[in-house]
């Protein structure tokens, strides 16, 4: 069962919305709020759209809107990918 790793999610975010020059992306950022990472709701929508396209999944509005950290968004994506692969 394919799952998305954090590095891939961060790559998608970077492609969609750049990478804030003042933020340290090297450390453990899985639980850092998106706001602090410099990603607003539009960036997340764009990233969700890209994830949907690349992995052929649908992400629920509510789930995308309530994901506040990379870990949470990753969980949503991987859940959908799991359902898709059934």
Partner 1 sequence: MVVRTAMAEAAGLDRGVPGATAPVVTGIGVAAPNGLGTGPWWRATLAGERAIAPITRFNADSYPARMAGEVRDFDPSEHLPSRLIPQTDHMTRLALAASAEAFADAGVDTSALPEYAAGVVTSASAGGFEFGQRELQALWSKGSRHVSAYQSFAWFYAVNTGQISIRHGLRGPSGVLVTGEAGGLDAVAQARRRLRGDAELMLTGGVDGSLCPWGWTALLSSGRLSTSDDPEHAYLPFSADARGHVVGEGGALLVLEAPESARARGARAYGALSGYAATFDPAPGAGGEPGLRYAIEQALDEADVTPDQVGVVFADACGVPDDDRAEADAISGVFGSRGVPVTAPKTLTGRLCAGGASLDLAAALLSVHEGVLPPTADVGRQAEGICLDLVTGTPRYGRVDVALVLARGQGGFNAAAVVRAADL
Partner 2 sequence: MNRRVVITGIGVVAPGGRNTKEFWDSLTAGRTATRAVSLFDATPFRSRIAAECDFDPATEGLPEHQAQKMDRATQLAVVAARQALADSGFVHPPRRPHRTGVTIGTAVGATMSLDTEYSVVSDRGARWLVDHEHATPNLYDHLVPSSFAARIAWEVGAQGPVSVVSTGCTSGLDAVGHAVELIREGAADSMVAGATDAPISPITLACFDAIRATSPRNDDPEHASRPFDRTRNGFVLGEGSAVFVLEEMELARRRDAHVYAEITGFASRSNAYHMTGLRTDGSEMAEAIRAALDRARLDRTDVDYVNAHGSGTKQNDRHETAAFKRALGEHSYRVPISSIKSMIGHSLGAIGSLEIAASALAIENGVVPPTANLHEPDPECDLDYTPITARETRVDTVLTVGSGFGGFQSAMLLSKPKRG
- Least Cα distance to 43 among 75, 12, 74, 71 occurs for 12
* Three-state SS at 85: coil
Helices 41-55 and 6-17, packing angle to 10 deg: 120
Confirm or reject binding of residue 17 to partner 2 (CB under 8 A).
no
- From partner 2, partner 1, none, which one binds at residue 33 (CB under 5 to 8 Å depending on kind)? none
Complex with partner 1: residue 1 or 58, whichever CB lies closer: 58
| Contact with partner 2 (CB under 8 A) among 1, 22, 61, 86 | 61
List interacting residues with partner 1 (CB under 8 A).
15-21, 38-39, 42-43, 45-46, 49, 52-53
């Amino acid at each position: 069962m394919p799952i998305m790793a954090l590095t891939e999610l961060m790559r998608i975010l970077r492609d969609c919305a750049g990478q804030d020059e003042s933020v340290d992306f090297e450390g453990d950022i899985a639980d850092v709020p998106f706001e602090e990472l410099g990603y607003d709701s539009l960036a997340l929508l764009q990233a969700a759209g890209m994830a949907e396209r690349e992995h052929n999944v649908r992400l629920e509005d509510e789930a995308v809107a309530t994901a506040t950290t990379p870990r949470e968004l990753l969980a949503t994506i991987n859940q959908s990918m799991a359902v898709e692969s059934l």
